[in-house]
Amino acid sequence: MKRVSIDPITRLEGHGKIDIFLDDAGDVANAYLQIPELRGFEKFCTGRPAEDMPNLTARICGVCPEAHHLAATKAIDRVFHVDPPPTAKKLRELFYSIFFATDHTTHFYALGGPDFVVGPQAPKAERNILGVISKVGMDIAGKVLKMRRDGHHLIKMIGGRAVHPNWGLPGGVSRGITEEQRQEIEKLGREAIEFAKFSLQLFRDVVLGNTEYVNLIKSDTYTHKTYNMGTVDENNKVNFYDGKIRVVGPDGKEKFKFDSKDYKQYVAERVEPWSYLKFPYLKQIGWKGFVDGADSGVYKATPLSRLNASDGMATPLAQAEYEKFYEALGGKPVNPTLATHWARLIELTYATENWVKLATDPDITGKEFRRLPTETPTEGVGCVEAPRGTLTHHYATDERGILTRVNLIVGTTNNNAPICMSVKKAAQGLIKKGKVSEGLLNMVEMAFRAYDPCFGCATHSLPGQMPLEVRLRNADGDVVERLSQYLD
Amino acid sequence: MSSASGAATAAGTKPKLAIYWAASCGGCEISILGIDTKILDVAAAFELVMCPCIMDGKVRDIEQLEDGAIAVCLFNGSIRNSEQEYMAQLLRRKSKVLVAFGSCAHEGCIPGLANLHDKQAIFENSYQETESTENPQRVRPQTATTVPEGTLHLPVFYDTVRTLDQTVDVDYYLPGCPPESPKIWEAIQAIVAGNLPPKGTVIGSDTTVCDDCKRIRNVKKVKQFKRTWEIIPDPEICLLEQGLLCCGIATRAGCGALCPQVNSPCIGCYGPNNDVHDFGARLMSAVASVIDADNPKDINAIISQGIPDPVGTFYRFGLAGSLLRRSKRPAGSDGGH
């Protein structure tokens, strides 16, 4: 049996490794995505005061510390049985909308977008942010840098630091904002809406205007019919900060809708001996292996899943785009993984609109941004939608608020099984009778990248370029062929 | 060769720069990107030979370099498994100047609190006790697993998180979780100018966060410590004097006292000042000096009542690099690893 190893750089890098095994006929027998690291936050956070968790768990991921910071803050609201005042909730959601817009911008322009903007067939060396710039011009690069700079500036202004904020407390936040700050947030938010509109137009012109790209998006190689998970508000509209968790089936119909505190009834995690990262699945459906369909508990939690799991967007521009999205891709649910890039831009639009909506809310500069807990702390679950999936923090404490149990299900981890399946399917599409197509690397990488896999959460690496190398080995393990996107 | 590294090679004699991450969160890279357009100056001054977040950096290429061929390596993350240990050794050998970049590499950071436990306890928790885990067969990740198609390998997970200088010889340290972008830029400028301090120096100022903090201090002593959820502190007055355990009193300056500006106490991410061998011991003695009590019994009562988690408070960022280093190891653990 032959083996194709795809290591980001090499096995020694620790950023995830893919092994593809070929059967005797030279077709794909199986594929494994291995995550080589564990840090043990759930264990070493026990014994710590619960109020430290927003700061401790931010260190799970420096790319999306805001997500962990707020999931932890919401969890300790519940641990301490304190409901934050309206100003605090709105400030947190404002902060989170700014973060989401910033993060989705990074992914679209620097990580995922180049596949389309520069082109899936373009040389690897050009499929990056520099390639995007050379294709579409320096003024777009300026817009992207400005969007990121503005986002981090405001995150630091509100939360204290650009990376690893120190702001969330049970019952609220440590500091509110002034009218002067609000005006700046609003101004930059209005500019961010224009940036989102511009990004969607760019996507329409470059991707949707190209039949080849549209066919690629719709192709079976990139399609999986699994359950979809996302958080929705009281009108079943997408929400990043709060709401009920909704799961729809491969048929697009609602299967479950639950409060995050009940997550254990719906989600379970499986352990495999070949990866340090667990595999979540829908508990009531059960684990049936790495397979699609209504009988398999595998689910996705991505921007695409959130759209599929909702009935629409809560803001007008995003809602209009949502409708165009489903019209163009044949109604709900949309299953092709590559449509996730488009979904991400619709979420970017919603994030910017919500940013301005909250920045112009009369409560936002309110002076009551904290409520002190008065009850004995016990147990609580906090959930937000991280950019890369539903993020769950569950804590239990003793009567002093010292943690006795911690459980975390983080964004990318939700998608561990679907990413494995996507990789396998892409490999099956490209490896026939022992022939490894040169296109494999690009195709596998695209399958992978649509998820925006943040192994910073799952392990520790950035959701960055995955410099892939394929080694085709014979049964003795000797490398008989080597392909790399970085070798001419 | 890729065109990117090809172009860099054509550029000729520029010094080589490597940026690497081990057990880290990616926040150090985000903070490097926070120097914004100055990143172009970095690209002009150096040939970037490894930076997994933005470019290919094949280990094989690094292995083939002559020893000492890399001018500067900024290494973030601690050492928690066999892969990271290998990379630390490799990059040490290949680099003239190795910088422990950020809190994880410098002193272990928050993930270093895992040293309160060992591998077995962490595995038992992650793969068995956690409430959503369904694992009736008690499966544990293995360094080698036989699957129907062949054998799959994982790196060895160690009992102990180590800092970079507990693994290899380190030339300089850049503190912070993460180091703030302006401080990164200052350090890069010093490197470019060849204006480097003596080996072993922590690059940064040797004052404390308190020196940068604009809050009013009345040299008032505290009779009781409060937890952050218990009070809404006055925004103008020293947080420590209000009873919050602000670590600024023993923490190296460099951030600009950012956390106190949002009414939150300093959590100590910049680590100790020069000549302080143990941050936790230094912070404890600093805190003891503001306690309004004379006899050990009263002091003890004030501490145990208001600081329920001493190790997580005083060694939040520095346990792995401290004199304590870790909890007592059970028999049969993997020794120094």
A191 touches chain B (CB under 8 A): no
**In angstroms, rounded to a whole number, what is the distance separating the alpha carbons of residues A184 and A192?**
12
Q: Residue written as tokens 């709900």?
A: A332
**Dist. CA A442–CA A321, nearest whole Å:** 29
Phi, psi angle pair for B184, to nearest 5°: -65, -45
B122 and A11 within 8 Å at the Cβ level: the answer is no
Number of H helices, E strands in chain A: 17, 18
Answer whether B308 sits within 8 Å of A400, measured CB to CB.
yes
**CB-nearest partner of B83 from A36, A160, A287:** A36
Please indicate if any CB of chain B lies within 8 Å of the CB of A41: yes
What pLDDT score does B323 carry? 87
Preferred mutation among B131, B142, B181, B213 to probe A, highest tally of A CBs within 10 A: B131
Q: What local confidence, expressed as pLDDT, does residue A7 receive? A: 56
The length of chain A is 488
Minimum-distance CB partner of B154 among A274, A400, A405: A274
Distance of alpha carbon A314 from alpha carbon B244, whole angstroms: 40
Q: Say if CB A176 and CB A91 are below 8 A apart.
A: yes
**8 A C-beta contact, residue A31 and residue A420:** yes
3-state secondary structure of A395: strand
CA atoms within 13 A of residue B290's CA, in its CB half-sphere? 24
Q: How far is B277 from chain A (nearest CA, A)?
A: 24
pLDDT score at B49? 82
| Chain A nearest-CA residue for B141 | A273
Q: Which of B60, B110, B263 sits opposite A59 (nearest CB)?
A: B110
Chain A: give the shortest CA distance to residue B122, in Å.
6
Residue A456 and residue B24: Cα distance in Å, rounded? 8
Q: Dihedral through CA A195, CA A303, CA A339, CA A223, nearest 10? A: 170
Contact residues, B window 251-290, toward A, CB-based 8 Å cutoff: 255, 258-259, 261-264, 267, 269
Q: Which domains does chain B have, with CATH numbers?
A: 16-110+159-193 (3.40.50.700), 209-314 (no CATH)
How far is the alpha carbon of A320 from chain B, nearest alpha carbon, in Å?
33
pTM of the model: 0.93
How far apart CA A155 and CA A290 sit, in angstroms, is: 39
Q: Cβ contact (<8 Å) for A163 and B141?
A: no
Q: What 8-state DSSP symbol labels residue A370? A: B
Q: Residue A22: how many CB atoms within 10 A of its CB?
A: 23
Burial-class residue B331 by CB neighbours within 10 Å (0-12, 13-18, 19+).
exposed
Contact A460 B31 (CB under 8 A): no
Q: Would you call B36 and A163 a contact, using CB atoms and an 8 Å cutoff?
A: no
ipTM for this prediction: 0.94
Q: Residue A235 — φ and ψ, nearest 5°?
A: -100, 15
Shortest CA distance from A172: residue in chain B = B229
**Residue type for position A21:** F
- CB contact under 8 Å between A269 and B177, yes or no, is no
Token pair 């060992």: residue: B118
CB-based contact (8 Å) between A44 and chain B?
yes
Share of chain B above pLDDT 70, in %: 92
A279, A403, B23, B312 from A50: Cα distances, Å: 27, 6, 24, 11
Judged by CB atoms closer than 8 Å, whether chains meet at B132 and A263 is answered as yes
The per-residue DSSP string of A217-279 comes to: HHSGGGB---EEEEEE-TTSBB-SSSSEEEEE-TTS-EEEEE-GGGHHHHEEEE--TT-SS-E
**What secondary structure letter does DSSP report for B328?**
P
At A452 the pLDDT is: 66
Confidence band for B330, pLDDT divided at 50, 70 and 90? low
Calculate the alpha carbon distances from A181 to A100, A102, A169, A358, B135 in Å: 19, 18, 21, 13, 50
Query: With 90 as the cut, is the pLDDT of residue B174 above it?
Result: yes
- For residue B52, give the nearest of A9, A170, A263 by CB distance: A9
Interface check for B329 against chain A (CB to CB < 8 A): the answer is no
Nearest-CA distance from B330 to chain A in Å?
17
Terminal-to-terminal C-alpha distance of chain B: 37
Chain A closest-CA separation from residue B84 CA (Å): 8
Tokens of A449: 């990248």
**Chain B, 187-226: which have a CB under 8 Å from a chain A CB?**
none
Whether B61 and chain A come into contact, CB under 8 Å, resolves to: no
A34, B152 Cβ separation under 8 angstroms: yes
**Closest partner residue to B139 among A9, A175, A273, by Cβ?**
A273
Q: For residue A308, what is the enclosing H or E element?
A: helix A303-308
Please, what are the domains in chain A? 83-223+336-372 (1.10.645.10)
Contact yes or no for A131/A35 (Cβ under 8 A): no
Residue B62's pLDDT band (cuts 50, 70, 90): confident
Window 277-336 of A: residues touching B by CB (8 A cutoff) are: 278, 280, 283, 287
pLDDT tens-digit profile, chain A (488 residues)? 667 665 543 323 345 677 788 888 888 888 888 887 788 999 999 999 999 999 999 999 888 899 999 999 999 999 999 999 999 999 999 999 999 999 999 878 776 666 677 776 666 556 566 667 677 777 777 888 899 899 999 999 999 999 999 999 999 999 999 999 999 999 999 999 999 999 999 889 888 888 888 888 888 888 999 999 999 999 999 999 999 999 999 999 999 999 999 999 999 999 999 999 999 999 999 999 999 999 999 999 999 999 999 999 999 999 999 999 999 999 999 999 889 989 999 999 999 999 999 999 999 999 999 999 999 999 999 999 999 899 999 999 999 999 999 999 987 889 999 988 988 888 888 787 877 765 566 667 677 777 765 544 443 233 233 344 555 555 555 555 555 433 22
Distance separating alpha carbons of residues B224 and B29, to the nearest angstrom: 40
